[in-house]
Structure 1
């Protein structure tokens, strides 16, 4: 089934002549964009694009489709602008609190669509620890906060999930054996450990304590996840980090899944100030639509 995101992607691909750049423009992954284009062409019954090595061109019939899609989006934007003005959403300010690993990975894609639809509404992102974000939400210092592992029924929506993984030096004697089968927190607890916190209360030590375990040999404590991986690469110990924080270059590292799997969940929570803000409620509604479209 074709949705608005498909049509925006169609126009973005035509403009960029490249799926990767178009996917980034609309806040999708490259694989998701490729699947969406294939789905759209299947629904239409003809090719909109031809793929030639690294370049994508629009077919003759595709040019007509892109023109209609572009006109449709322009008219839709005009209708939305009228609706925003009528509801007092032409201007506004939303304070959104988050912590570093989410600010750099999840937020850009989530906010890009809203900023394009509501250019008069300013979204200010405040960065803090997970505990600080909780305090800011409780005190209505911010309208919205992205919190970790929220209690049931408290979240407006879940925006992401991240698995915890163990990181060993590739030269570690256990690395090859545990890479395939995984490792338990109990097996990790006695290892020479590099404790990375990411500026969060939920980290390797707190996960151990929740499981009734203690780290017996902490060699070093760092705030930055990437720094922990670099120290692991140098053979200074092992670390427990969220999978999304792993470096792109994993040479010298052995990444091992936990048994049983342990995940951290990110969710959007609204403060009392946010509940009475029309702009904030518009952002929440838009993020829900965006999330649904991404998973359709």
Structure 2
């Protein structure tokens, strides 16, 4: 049986040219998406896509099917828009600030599903450091902001959490220890270090300072987590990174837990006007439901 997720999936595959990226957009695993496409093709009795080394291409049969799916989904968005108008929501614009890793990993599916349900409300995602996001929130430049480790006194929805890990090349002496054996700051304080920030004030150096240590041999400072992982793989040093940003291909890399372990949480923070701003409150409830924090 085919449902809206299936139709959204085939449109996403046609747009992305790859099942993996399409699966992320609709909130499925790659294997689940592949199985869903195979089932649709079996039900329809013809191939929707052809697969090659260059990616995924839409077949001659698939072209009009994807076109009808686009029309159907657009019509559904229009119906949702009418429903919003009936409820007095109408249109609106929400400015949301966040640091890069959340914009690329946690927000896309939330924003896509919200737009499908409330097409009249536009959500504009602005990328900045966590310090910039805090400044924007304080000045009212943004309506919502994603911050690291929100304090209990703030109205926040936790979007995710992960542990900080020590990343080493496989040639490093630390890489020979058991994966469950943690690494403390005393062992790495004087090691050649790749200082990766991810656009956040909470990073390897700040964590070391909080623990009473200073990382003294910084080889290079980078903002991008992927760049840090690449430099570690090349043997330029070790790094402290969030577990969630580790690459899928870890050849040449070894990730070990910090001892004691340190987690980071990233939460969506709301202003005091949340209750009186209907579009804002609608988006907040959407995120709460998606993250099961109602």
TM category (shorter chain) comes to 0.7 to 0.9
Structure 1 partner of 2:38? 55
Separation in structure 2 between the aligned mates of residue 112 and residue 180 of structure 1, nearest angstrom = 38
Structure 2 unmatched runs, 5+: 44-72
| 8 A contact 1:142–1:273 mirrored in 2 | no
Matched residue SS, 1:227: helix
Structure 2 partner of 1:101? 101
Separation in structure 1 between the aligned mates of residue 243 and residue 193 of structure 2, nearest angstrom = 17
Pick closer, same or farther for the CA change 1:79–1:115 going to 2, 3 Å. Answer: closer
Say whether residues 1:151 and 2:134 are aligned partners: no
Structure 1 unmatched runs, 5+: 1-5, 35-50, 61-72
Separation in structure 2 between the aligned mates of residue 129 and residue 104 of structure 1, nearest angstrom = 14
Matched residue SS, 1:205: helix
Structure 1 partner of 2:179? 179
Per-residue CA shift, 1:247-268, capped at 9, x if unaligned? 3332211111222221110111
| 8 A contact 2:80–2:119 mirrored in 1 | no
Per-residue CA shift, 1:255-290, capped at 9, x if unaligned? 112222211101111124555321111001111122
Q: What pairs up with 1:40-189 in 2 under 5 angstroms?
A: 55-57=38-40, 80-189=80-189
Pick closer, same or farther for the CA change 1:22–1:203 going to 2, 3 Å. Answer: closer
Pick closer, same or farther for the CA change 1:201–1:149 going to 2, 3 Å. Answer: same
Separation in structure 2 between the aligned mates of residue 177 and residue 197 of structure 1, nearest angstrom = 26
Structure 2 partner of 1:219? 219
Structure 2 partner of 1:264? 264
Separation in structure 1 between the aligned mates of residue 223 and residue 25 of structure 2, nearest angstrom = 31
Q: TM-score, normalised by structure 2?
A: 0.76
Separation in structure 2 between the aligned mates of residue 21 and residue 251 of structure 1, nearest angstrom = 22
Per-residue CA shift, 1:177-214, capped at 9, x if unaligned? 15342312332223221111122110001101111222
| 8 A contact 2:164–2:263 mirrored in 1 | yes
Separation in structure 1 between the aligned mates of residue 242 and residue 193 of structure 2, nearest angstrom = 15
RMSD: 3.3
How many Å apart are 1:176 and its aligned residue?
A: 1.6
Q: TM-score, normalised by structure 1?
A: 0.75
| 8 A contact 1:110–1:287 mirrored in 2 | yes
Separation in structure 1 between the aligned mates of residue 217 and residue 282 of structure 2, nearest angstrom = 49
- Matched residues, number: 261
Pick closer, same or farther for the CA change 1:7–1:55 going to 2, 3 Å. Answer: closer
Separation in structure 1 between the aligned mates of residue 9 and residue 226 of structure 2, nearest angstrom = 33
Separation in structure 2 between the aligned mates of residue 11 and residue 122 of structure 1, nearest angstrom = 23
